[in-house]
Chain A
């Protein structure tokens, strides 16, 4: 039955695919399965689109719900280190134990607010620096001769081939008191004593800007690369000097790229743990570090989960902005 229903659409398949389908259609188990699936409303198209949804369900929604559940439960010493939400009294009455104190605690203890604010500040400043460094780089790559473009892009992506952790460790070697920079400066005689860079906020910024710069460059590049260059000629023709052309044409038209790049840097930078831990001062207050401490040092899973949930909610806003920017980018590409 289903085979007949599919018949008018046959011409869509290439000859090879058609051969395989004809063969499969001759096998009773295939026909049986297919007709069952279609009866349940599952066609090939639904099956294909279901894959990303299943992925999100399994690896995002389910873990999120687990974390959410833990955030509402009470900490206890044991395994697992939190009390169940649902308890049975006398084996018949269900009692729900929703704890809001984990969230309330975040408002009472000013440490959390400070950590959130500081994380946002660090992420924002890093994003700004990434933009200031990344924009000219993306612009230069997009305007380079095409034979150079791929090589330059490759150089941007190349660091990803080394472990992120290793690269951050490498910065310790560069920044420490008897590291590369200080040794070089002392050798030239510019300074007599090493400048303390490691375990300062400066080192955190260096680490974050360095690590996330490619995430700024790539979306900016893809935006700038497809920009219609005759628009720039038109602006020049109408009397705009190069700087004016950049400010009135290039910059506004690359805004979707700027937003996409900024979000790709800002969002992970807010929750960054490794870089402040390895490069920053031991008392650096970033939410990623706080989360780690609450989870592993205090072993308070519910409190840590609440911190994570709050962080997620905080980041939903920029994520929505990112999506809008990408939608605008897609519309722009269709014009």
Chain B
């Protein structure tokens, strides 16, 4: 326990070794010529999960999704959905539906016909198709647009048609490629919650690809962070944010201040890092699994700092700096504080009452302090 920085997690399905994964990606590699798009990825996704594949452009997340849908075949490795090996099974025979980034609505069909398309392929009786399409349109609140063509709809409406079309077949697994990417910010936030509600209501397993970390945080039960074709870390949004396993993840998710330093005290219950960049030492109230004297990085999130004019009443984890920039964002303020080593530290403070930010001004000398549990110690 001492060397494990994480508090005991609630028992979740992915922590249960007995649980059978619904989607299993087993050492999958995909090459396009010389380019390795997906490199030896293994992943287990459980039933009713909302799993996000998060990464920058070209990290292989969309390729992985397209392999699940059946548009690409893995160069090596296997994919299992509900225990069935998907190798060689064409897209039209997979129990999977996909919502495309561009929505890919059929322009020559009405909303109704678009949604009915998948059911027609299954040869269902006409009245059943009609009922199911109707129910689906009700669910996404598009009944009054049933007879419209896609080009007569707004972006948000098209997104809902695409969602309805991919859900109407009751797939075992729904793949969503940047589902909210084309929507404006307000609509996106609103739709995020709608999507989560819908997923819980229908109990379908979702795999979402996104480059937007905020979207991933809001939507998912777990996130898989990808970089250069590899999965770097898999965990709940909280895991990923509070306990990143690498500099890459810490920097990719949210903002972070990274201090390079050397372990000078390495005890099971605490460590101390000497960081010339910081101009002092960082006391961390949990052990780390690094060799003593090794070069490490202490990552501290901007909101974990406390900024004050008076020197706070603590001996450790305090440093002095000069305010160089202040950005007032309404709900919070962002400060860029220069340390003695010239390193800039980014700090956010909530504006909990009006004029909360007034006491600190440009070029003022301030004290930065943080709690001993806040730094995350990373070795790479």
Residues of A within 8 A of B (CB): 228, 230-231, 233-241, 244, 248-249, 252-253, 332, 335
Contact = CB atoms under 8 A, between A and B. Distances in A.
A228 B69 CA distance: 18
B71 interface: yes
B122 interface: yes
Contacts of B108: 252-253
B104 A240 contact: no
Contacts of B107: 231, 253, 332, 335
A228 B102 CA distance: 10
A334 to B, nearest CB: 9
Given A230-B104, A237-B98, A239-B122, 15 more contacts: A228-B104, A234-B104, A235-B106, A237-B92, A238-B92, A238-B97, A238-B117, A238-B169, A239-B93, A239-B118, A239-B169, A244-B121, A249-B106, A253-B107, A253-B108
B71 A233 contact: yes
B120 to A, nearest CB: 9
Contact of B117 (A240, A241, A253, A335): A240
A50 B71 CA distance: 52
A249 B117 CA distance: 11
B121 A230 contact: no
A236 B92 contact: yes
B100 A240 contact: no
A236 B91 contact: yes
Where chain A touches its partner, the secondary structure class is helix
A230 B104 CA distance: 6
17 contacts: A228-B102, A230-B102, A231-B106, A231-B107, A233-B100, A234-B98, A234-B100, A234-B105, A237-B97, A238-B165, A239-B92, A239-B121, A239-B169, A240-B117, A240-B121, A252-B108, A335-B151
B254 interface: no
Nearest to B91: A236
Contact of B104 (A233, A239, A241, A335): A233
B350 interface: no
Contacts of A236: 70-71, 90-92
Contacts, number: 62
Nearest to A253: B108
B160 to A, nearest CB: 16
Interface in B120-139: 121-122
Nearest to A241: B92
Contacts of A244: 121
Best-buried of B92, B97, B108 by chain A (most CB within 10 Å): B92
Contact of B106 (A234, A237, A239): A234
Contacts of B122: 239
A249 B96 CA distance: 20
A230 B107 CA distance: 12
A308 to B, nearest CB: 39
B93 to A, nearest CB: 8
Given A240-B92, A241-B92, A230 B118 contact: no
Nearest to B98: A237
A220 B122 CA distance: 31
Contacts of A230: 100, 102, 104
Nearest to B175: A237
Contacts of B70: 236-237
A237 B92 CA distance: 5
Nearest to B151: A335
A238 B122 CA distance: 9
Contacts of B118: 238-239
Closest 3 CB pairs of A and B: A238-B118, A239-B121, A234-B104
Contacts of A238: 92, 97, 117-118, 121, 165-166, 169
Contacts of A252: 108
A240 B104 CA distance: 15
Contacts of B106: 231, 234-235, 249
Contacts of B90: 236
A79 to B, nearest CB: 58
B91 A237 contact: yes
B97 to A, nearest CB: 6
A334 B22 CA distance: 42
A230 B91 CA distance: 13
Contacts of A233: 69, 71, 91, 98, 100, 104
Best-buried of A234, A235, A240, A252 by chain B (most CB within 10 Å): A234
A231 B96 CA distance: 16
Nearest to A249: B106
Contacts of A240: 92, 117, 121
A231 B92 contact: no
Contacts of B96: 237
A231 B165 CA distance: 13
A239 B118 CA distance: 6
